[in-house]
Chain A
Amino acid sequence: MLQFALFIPFCPLIGFLILGLFNKKIPKKAAGVLASVAVLISFIFSLNIFLNISGKSTVVPIFDWFSAGNLSVSFSFLLDPLSSLFLMIITGVGLLIHIYSIGYMHDDENSNIFFAYLNLFVFFMLLLVMGSSYILMFVGWEGVGLCSYLLIGFWFKNNAFNNAAKKAFIMNRIGDLGFLLGMILIFVTFGSTNYTTVFGQAQQGYSPETSLSGNSTFTIITLLLFVGAMGKSAQIPLYTWLPDAMAGPTPVSALIHAATMVTAGIYMIARSSILYSLAPISMFVVAFVGVITAIFAATIALAQNDIKKVLAYSTVSQLGYMFLGLGVGAFSSSVFHVLTHAFFKALLFLGAGSVIHGLSGEQDIRNMGGLRKKMPVTAITFLLASLAISGIPPFSGFFSKDEILAAAYSYNKFFWLLGLIGSSMTAFYMFRLYFLVFHGEYRGKPDIHAHESPKVMTIPLIILAILSSFGGFLGIPESLGGKSLIASFLQPVFAVAHSNLLELPSGSVSDIMLMGITVAVVIASIVYARNKYVVHKDLPIAEGQKMARIPSIIYHKYYIDEIYAAVVTRPLDRASEFLERVFDLKIIDGIVNVIGKLIQWISGKLRLLQTGNVDFYLFAMVIGIVLIIFFQMR
């Protein structure tokens, strides 16, 4: 079966080529179906691999890409439990979102191009997780960045959207430079970027004595890679592109900016678990950045009024949890959270898309309300997703987030506390959103008649709702009588890393108690949100009205965008102007011109010697002869 691995990424690539090259000739209805079928085939092949992988790890060579001496890069795929699980997420959720898009993009004149880009994205994302070396991961990594750019700016006549797209690409590139340098350092250190070689050699060089402080090369490598992850997975300080990325069509937000692409950073670190386990300092940095981002983004989500912005900051925050999990050594818990997050966050975005679609483009929650009667399927599925993300048992988010928090508790109790506070904020902003959109009275424009979305959109919602509700059962921990299926499925991948970690995150007696605390806090937040928004009908204040200082700062996202503009963007523009106008044209070119002028001046003076006066020539000749004789005599 493994030889068919090639088809997994290449079906969407062929879909892209057909749609891209013949986009005018393909009828609009066929384009969406064609794109979906391409992903469906990939899904079937992925499913087959997923079911048959059983802990094995296989490299499937495709062709030799390039080489320069001992640096040789082959195009080959690595199939193991970790990549097969990601294949399932990408093709499975990807398929549902393709189908949903048929309905959502129904009226768009360029929908063929949209599906072409979507297929291209799936291709690069599959390459990212299937590649058997860091270079191939980088290929997919940059490729998904490009697709993200193309899709955020899909409505390219709008310059605000174009700015968001450009910002996403450039911020990602800042991270990519870190990735690139890390990758080159890997090559210089290990002589290869193939995972098998790198991890094998890294592990060989490992000894318990050095692991305490960690090998400094490994620390630098892992930190550089993490810079890449910060860009792609929107962590502080490179997160500001993700909320802006909501400019893209909503299915794009669901697929790329929630379920798949942004989890690439998690995949990268999980894949490199052996390197990270040998660099404890990097592990700490990952956990620290993760938990700070988790809580920071959650506070911003508390005060946003754009339905997609709330979900975007929620994504940033949830990604923070995943990094927290990675940093404290709970690799499989983080991957588990990637899985459940893909379900419920895709569902939330598609639900939001359904609302936006039903309200003819309205995104401000202050203009919504009471939609559960008009959009019952959307409302119920959205509620299930909100329960899942908040971590109410037995919905999926409970199990995965709880594993991360438990591991954080045994690593550092302060991180656990921050994570817990973040959880309560998550529950609050999600139910604030839910209640304001679906409960109470409709507050929007009276001429818009809200309606439920067509079946092609609601069926994916229902499937995702089922997965969000029950997907967590894949990872019921031992303490609750389960088998931790995910953890044991991934165990072969993370076994070495776990054995390297001195302090293993272990399930302890306090597990049940921790769960109890988390659930209690979350329920309290939901009750508070209901009290505030349903019982007291305490609506967010309208645009332009004066806010108290702290809510205002949060509402303006701590003015981070403005700070970046003042510290980076504008100085760079000024430096650019200065360097050209003053340094290039005046100083450097000035020197060149002065040399030219100087020669002209000298030649002008020398010209004066040509007086035409024969006496002077004779005189000069005699002097010359005397000098020559003089120098010859010496």
Chain B
Amino acid sequence: MLTSILILIPFIASLIILSVPARAAKAFAFGASLIAFVVALVIFIGFPISADYQYVLDYSWIPSLGIHFKVGMDGISILMVLLTTFLSPLIILSARNGENHTPVFYSLLLFMEMALIGVFVSLDGFLFYIFWELALIPIYFICLLWGGVNRVNITIKFFIYTLTGSLFMLVALIILYLHTPNHSFDINYLYQAGKSLDTRMQGFLFLFFFLAFGIKMPVFPLHTWQPDTYTVAPPQGTMMLSGIMLKMGIYGVIRWLLPMLPDGVHEYSAYVMWLAIIGVVYASVIAITRSDLKRLIAYSSIAHVGLIAAGIFAFNLQGLQGGIIQMLSHGINVCGLFFAADIIQNRTKTREIPQLGGIRTKAPFFATALMIIMLGAVALPLTNGFVGEFLLINGVFQFSPYMAALGGLTIILGAVYMFRAYQRTMLGETSALTEHFTDLTLSEKAVFIPLVLMVIFIGIFPQVFLRVSEPAVMKILSGMP
């Protein structure tokens, strides 16, 4: 029951908000998402350390097709839900007043939160697919209506690209469904059906699923929609996409792909890992000379996600646990970075790094907050990025030391592009555009402070999160032949 409450809160709020006066819409949306966070936090605090699904609700939805509304959470799901509900209120709060944010805008954000939570708690293949696609609709409109230059073309491309991937997943799900003995979309029956298939068929279905998940993450070379979309989307859209939505792809791999098609994974994981590792280096190198702040962060995100993908396909405890904790860290860091880019753009009307500089003199609080988030992004020990990156590289190393060495280049290249960008925007003498830069306002601080605190908290106490997901990860690992 608790699980469905988590879905219902943002869903109901997204409907009510349409009748709320425009002035109060942001406050209402913030309040609703905050309630969802509190509920998630309470569940998290009392969450049992167990490999089983908790708070399961199983309601027969379309009996003739064996479709259930079945939701529930294990240690992995609750962490994703916690991330979603933690970031959503901050993302809503980050929306600026006076940028034509009608109640519809907030309604879409809440609706998206609902769909994302749904993806992370679905225990029925069909339901999972429904939520997966529902999450795409609000972000499509957010980008289309509130996006930047050239938004129509870019948004349509993004939509078609991800939808194509999803359709392959739908086909794969239906094929698996047809192989279940009693024609059911229940996760356990789908697992059984998948495992019973021969290697060739599993490999075939693996590729179908991988297209959907790989595009969402995105994994090299399926990534070209991402920098454009992140750049053109409004800040809240970018933060939703990069902070939470791309985790759908990674989560999908962990929840569905790995346990369902073990032989397919075995057959193809080395190739996928090579792509992911190439992506790490490739995107990092490109990030070095990007002059648009948002594009730079977008490519850095591809690099970070590449390492996560490599870690989870390495299919060992360190890799998977590293991937999960890194999903939390990446969500927090990338939201902080994109919000910083938005603040800079809002104050100076540009995101071009060469035109900036000297912001630290004018806005020391902002500079410090950004520095801490950046340290998290470059995985300095005692910040959130380190534990994840260490476990990930460790996991990849056990699969192939060469991949680990290559992927480890992110340690160096990440420092190159991040410190270069930081120097050119924040340090040095002020430029004509940054001369009158003002430090953070109260509501901007209210977004940054929780993010910064989490960077440090996860860095020092990662075990708070790792211990919750470990039993569930062990269960997934034990299902292998």
Contact = CB atoms under 8 A, between A and B. Distances in A.
Interface of A: 64-69, 71, 135, 138-139, 142-143, 146, 149, 153, 156-159, 162-163, 166, 169-170, 173-174, 176-177, 180-181, 184-185, 187-188, 572-573, 575-577, 579-580, 584-585, 588-589, 592, 596
B394 interface: yes
A214 B409 CA distance: 29
18 contacts: A64-B463, A65-B460, A65-B463, A66-B466, A67-B463, A68-B318, A139-B382, A149-B419, A157-B361, A159-B428, A162-B427, A170-B419, A173-B415, A181-B397, A576-B286, A584-B224, A592-B161, A596-B160
Nearest to B361: A157
Contacts of A163: 423
B246 interface: no
Interface of B: 157, 160-161, 221, 223-225, 282, 285-290, 317-318, 321-322, 358, 360-361, 375, 380-382, 386-387, 390-391, 393-394, 397-398, 401, 404-405, 408-409, 411-412, 415-416, 419-420, 423, 427-429, 460, 462-463, 466, 470, 474
Contacts of B412: 170, 173-174, 177
Contact of A580 (B289, B409, B463): B289
B393 A180 contact: yes
Contacts of B386: 139, 142
A177 B406 CA distance: 10
A67 B390 contact: no
Given A69-B470, A575-B285, 15 more contacts: A65-B460, A68-B321, A68-B322, A69-B321, A71-B317, A163-B423, A169-B415, A170-B419, A173-B411, A180-B411, A181-B393, A576-B285, A576-B289, A580-B289, A580-B290
Given A174-B412, A180-B390, A180-B393, A69 B318 contact: yes
A485 B360 CA distance: 50
Given A139-B382, A576-B288, A166 B398 contact: no
Contact of A68 (B286, B360, B391): B391
Contacts of B462: 65-66
Contact of A188 (B397, B429, B466): B397
Residue from A158, A177, A188, A580 with most neighbouring chain B CB atoms (10 Å): A580
Contact of B420 (A67, A68, A138, A166): A166
Contacts of B420: 166
A374 to B, nearest CB: 35
Contacts of B419: 149, 166, 169-170
Nearest to A569: B416
A264 to B, nearest CB: 14
Contacts of A71: 317-318, 391, 394
Contacts of B286: 576, 579-580, 584
A184 B397 contact: yes
A181 B408 contact: yes
A602 to B, nearest CB: 15
A230 B285 CA distance: 24
A146 B418 CA distance: 13
A592 B224 contact: yes
A68 B405 CA distance: 21
B381 A142 contact: yes
Given A69-B317, A572-B285, A575-B285, A188 B398 contact: yes
Given A65-B462, A169-B419, A177-B409, A142 B394 contact: no
Contacts of B408: 177, 180-181
B289 A577 contact: yes
A156 B360 contact: yes
Contacts of A592: 161, 224-225
A455 to B, nearest CB: 33
Nearest to A587: B221
Given A579-B282, A580-B286, A589 B224 contact: yes
Contact of B427 (A64, A159, A184): A159
Contacts of A577: 289
* 9 A-B pairs with the lowest CB-CB distances in the bound complex, closest first: A139-B381, A589-B224, A69-B317, A576-B289, A68-B321, A576-B288, A156-B427, A66-B462, A580-B286
Contacts of A65: 460, 462-463
A69 B470 CA distance: 8
B157 to A, nearest CB: 8
Contacts of B387: 66
B375 A146 contact: yes
B452 to A, nearest CB: 12
Contacts of A67: 463, 466
Nearest to A583: B282
A573 B390 CA distance: 27
B380 A143 contact: yes
Contact of A162 (B161, B423, B470): B423
Contacts of A176: 411
A166 B360 CA distance: 16
A105 B291 CA distance: 36
Given A577-B289, A580-B286, A170 B224 contact: no
Nearest to A145: B380
Contacts of B409: 177
Contacts of A146: 375, 380
B466 A68 contact: yes
A532 to B, nearest CB: 42
Given A67-B463, A188-B397, A142 B427 contact: no
B423 A572 contact: no
B416 A170 contact: yes
Given A68-B318, A68-B466, A170-B415, A573 B397 contact: no
Max chain B Cβ within 10 angstroms of own Cβ: one of A68, A71, A139, A188: A68
Contacts of A572: 285, 288, 416
Contacts of A166: 419-420, 423
B360 A187 contact: no
A187 B394 contact: yes
Contacts of B416: 170, 572
Nearest to A153: B427
Best-buried of A65, A184, A577 by chain B (most CB within 10 Å): A184
A247 B76 CA distance: 48
B470 A68 contact: yes
A356 B361 CA distance: 26
Contacts of B223: 588
A184 B290 CA distance: 32
Contacts of B282: 579
A387 to B, nearest CB: 41
Task: Please indicate which of the listed interface residues A69, A139, A158 has the most CB atoms of chain B within 10 Å of its own CB.
Answer: A69
B318 A138 contact: no
B393 A184 contact: yes
A69 B415 CA distance: 30
Given A143-B380, A180-B390, A573-B289, A185 B463 contact: no
A174 B416 CA distance: 11
Contacts of A157: 358, 361, 427-429
Contacts of B390: 135, 180
A589 B287 CA distance: 17
B167 to A, nearest CB: 13
Contacts of B375: 146
A543 to B, nearest CB: 26
Contacts of A187: 394
A162 B428 contact: yes
B288 A573 contact: yes
Contacts of B427: 153, 156-157, 159, 162
B435 to A, nearest CB: 13
Contacts of B398: 188
A157 B321 CA distance: 41
Nearest to A167: B419
A585 B375 CA distance: 30
A592 B226 CA distance: 13
B44 to A, nearest CB: 18
A470 B86 CA distance: 60
A584 B218 CA distance: 14
B394 A184 contact: yes
A86 B380 CA distance: 24
